[in-house]
Amino acid sequence: MRIFSFDVFDTLLVREFAEPQDLFLKLGAIGQRQGLVNVAPEVFCKHRVHAEETAWNTAGHNDVSLDDIWNELATVLQLPPTIREKLKQMEIQCELDSVRPIPEMLDKVQSARRRGGRILFISDMYLPREFFLQSLKKAGFYKENDQLYVSHEAKASKASGELFKLIRREHPDIVEWTHIGDNRNADVLVPKQHGIDAIEFTETRLTRYERLILRRSASTRVWWSQMAGAMRLTRIQGGARTGRSATIWNTGANVVGPVLFGFVHWCLEEAIKRGLRRLYFVSRDGQILHQIAQIIAPAWKYDIECRYLFGSRQAWHPAAISRLDSDDLKWLVAPTRDCSLQQVFARAGVDPCLFKNELESAGFSLEALGKSLSSEEASRLKSILSMPSICSVIEKESERRRQLAVRYLEQEGFLSEVPAAIVDIGWNGNLQKSLAKLLAASGRRKAKPGIGFYFGLLTCNKFSEDEILIPYWNRLVPSKRAMQRENTGMFELFSAADHGSVQGYRENAGKIEPVLNSATNERALKWGLADMQESILRFASFCVTCQERKDFSSEAFQRSTVDLYREFYERPTKEEALVWGSFPYSEEQVEEVFQQMVPDWTCGQTVKAIFQWKERPVCWWPEGLRAARACLPLAAYLEFKKMKTRLCERWP
């Protein structure tokens, strides 16, 4: 006979709590609320843990049942039999409500069954047999002809090896036996001593991020345990992913999901406080944020309508030009290191070939459209763009774009009287500024000030009486200078979308629709965007399921996400650095030049970049580069940078 046996807890099933004993804190709180116990939840938890230890010591680690534990606890807490039984049943119900299946292991059990093996489920847990049967059947593990062994029922345990001996006596024809479990001693070392092929399952062990969350205030231990549990539940939903896919999924579950969840929840709370009824999540950064909002809002009953709005710098900036002025020229000829003639005219939405004579007379060649402009050339180009012959074409194209943009906004209800705000990733607020400018140019200025919720801002949070910009991450970092040190490219990576950027709008069958530079974001999808987005949304779903809105400590959670992000950004593993540092990033709105945050450099190239900032990628991640490739000068540079940061925060 061929046998496959499986441990149950933390192998097939996992609790929503990061640590098992934290369930007792919840049970104590419920018992206190219902008047069944007269001690604080922390005291109840301590007594419950001690009662279990006493029961195990008395039984010699062989046959402890839940009744044994509650007999000990009832004596200590002086509980009458009826209360003792009620609390015991409440504990069983809490366990039933808490457990979740591990998808990867469901596949393994089904695979073992297809291979003709006899399936056994084995547990040293004190819970009753009915609990295991109900949980395993509900999760799809237990089928007819399977067997369940529970130590206190069998009067033998895995840890002592007696349970494995008992199974051999009952199945003397075993010729091959494989056991899988999470406990190194009871599920690996002991069965190996009895000639069993044992496999250690480690996926439910807490990661450094999950442990970081658990180190929070002891007074709110249950809350933090459930949050760390939601992170773990999401992570193990990744199943049998390996390599790049596993790294993206796990970081999405442990870092990106919590960071973006905190931001979206904050947006919903701020909207309620300000009497808003609608939030517009602006593409493309708003795609995943909008999807998170669609999970939080109905689950936690926020009376906020969440919509996805197709917009971009390329769609709104050119449409905002009524008379070409210095601000418009500053945007058109952006001071970026890769700014070229081609990019400038692409931003304006006009063909540079129309102005061949003017450009060539000023020393510009159409054969070098993609060549980066020097500061002198950029200044000269601004003068050329101000020429009436060119200026009038740009302004005419802007008028056409503006009419379509306004019609699109009207179509989406943005110009209605419903109190609303936009949501975007942020940085300088120029997108909202262009939106206000194009509405003003069309005579459709909104009656109330425009409000924008942003993940972060590098400049002031209000640029006029008519437009208010409210940042999120700025509240969580120590100073304005600290915000300006952030690698904004990393947050843009976190909020990447699966479609191309919006270039403008067009009319189709009487409806205004966005014009995308591509239907899909192929570079990001090839990198693994789908894994990242799915893990983020899984975390959001687990979070709202494990928590209730009234119990969610938003301020504390938001601040904890800063620690998660810092752990990831400043101390990445080699795998994290290589995978996340390889994302194809572009700072240009026309997206012609893509770079990696962790380039494939030699130590010599790294040293050159340390001293010459122009040699660095736009959103260079030096901490990631250090983790990916050893380089002593880079390590020294980062230590100096860290010391400088501490001094700046101490004396801002």
The CB-side HSE value for 239 (13 A sphere, CA atoms) comes to 9
**Neighbouring C-beta atoms of residue 300, cutoff 10 Å:** 16
361 in any annotated domain? yes
Most confident of 210-219, 270-279, 428-437, 464-473: 270-279
The pLDDT, as a whole number, for residue 385 is 85
Give mean pLDDT, residues 297-309.
97
Instruction: Name the pTM for this structure.
Output: 0.90
Distance CA 644, CA 260 (A): 29
Helix (H) or strand (E) holding 14, with range, is: strand 13-15
Which letter does DSSP use for residue 124 in this model? -
Q: DSSP label at 367?
A: G
- Higher pLDDT pick, 339 / 225: 225
Output DSSP code: residue 64: -
Regarding whether 53 and 183 lie in a shared domain, the answer is yes
Residue 569 domain-assigned?
no
Nearest to 304 by CA among 294, 318, 292, 316: 294
Same domain membership, residue 36 and residue 116: yes
Q: What is the pLDDT of residue 116?
A: 87
Give the helix/strand (H/E) hosting 3.
strand 2-7
Q: List pLDDT tens digits, range 53-107.
A: 999 888 765 578 999 999 999 999 999 999 999 999 999 999 999 999 999 999 9
Please say which residue of 371, 404, 437 terminates a domain.
404
Say whether pLDDT at 652 is over 60. no
Same-domain check for residues 319 and 306: no
Count of domains in the chain? 4
The verdict on 354 and 440 lying in the same domain is: no
The verdict on residue 42 lying in a domain is: yes
Determine the pLDDT at residue 387: 87
Query: Which is higher by pLDDT, 574 or 467?
Result: 574
CB neighbour list of residue 483: distance below 8 Å, 6 or more residues apart: 456, 457, 458, 471, 473, 474, 477
443 and 332 belong to one structural domain: no
Contact 227, 539 (CB under 8 A): no
pLDDT tens for 158-181 read 989 999 999 999 999 998 999 999
pLDDT at 59: 75
Q: Which domain holds residue 340?
A: 315-404
The reply to whether 547 falls in a domain is: no
If asked whether residues 342 and 301 sit together in one domain, one would say no
Q: Is the pLDDT score of 449 beyond 90?
A: no
- Please tell me whether residues 104 and 195 are part of one structural domain: yes
Same domain, 199 and 331: no
On whether both 152 and 163 belong to a single domain, the answer is yes
Interval 423-433 mean pLDDT: 90
Mean pLDDT of the chain: 90
The predicted structure's pLDDT at residue 239: 80
Model confidence at 447, pLDDT cuts 50, 70, 90, reads: very low
Among 315-324, 375-384, 495-504, 528-537, the minimum mean pLDDT is found in 375-384
pLDDT at res. 358? 82
In the chain, what percentage of residues exceed pLDDT 70? Answer: 95
* 156 found inside a domain: yes
**347 in Cβ contact with 589 (< 8 Å):** yes
How confident is the model over 499-521, as a mean pLDDT?
A: 94
Residue 368 lies in a domain: yes
Q: Are residues 434 and 289 in the same domain?
A: yes
Residue 645 placed within a domain: yes
**Helices (DSSP H) in 195-312: which residue ranges?**
208-214, 221-236, 243-251, 257-273, 286-299
Residues 288 and 379 in one domain: no
| 501, 522, 543 - which closes a domain | 522
Residue at which a domain ends, from 404, 426, 457: 404
Tens of pLDDT, residues 560-579: 999 999 999 999 999 999 99
* 337 domain-assigned: yes
Whether 592 has a pLDDT exceeding 70, the answer reads no
Q: Residue 290 — pLDDT band, cuts 50, 70, 90?
A: very high
Look at the alpha carbons of 368, 369, 375, 378 in this order and tell me if their dihedral is positive or negative: positive
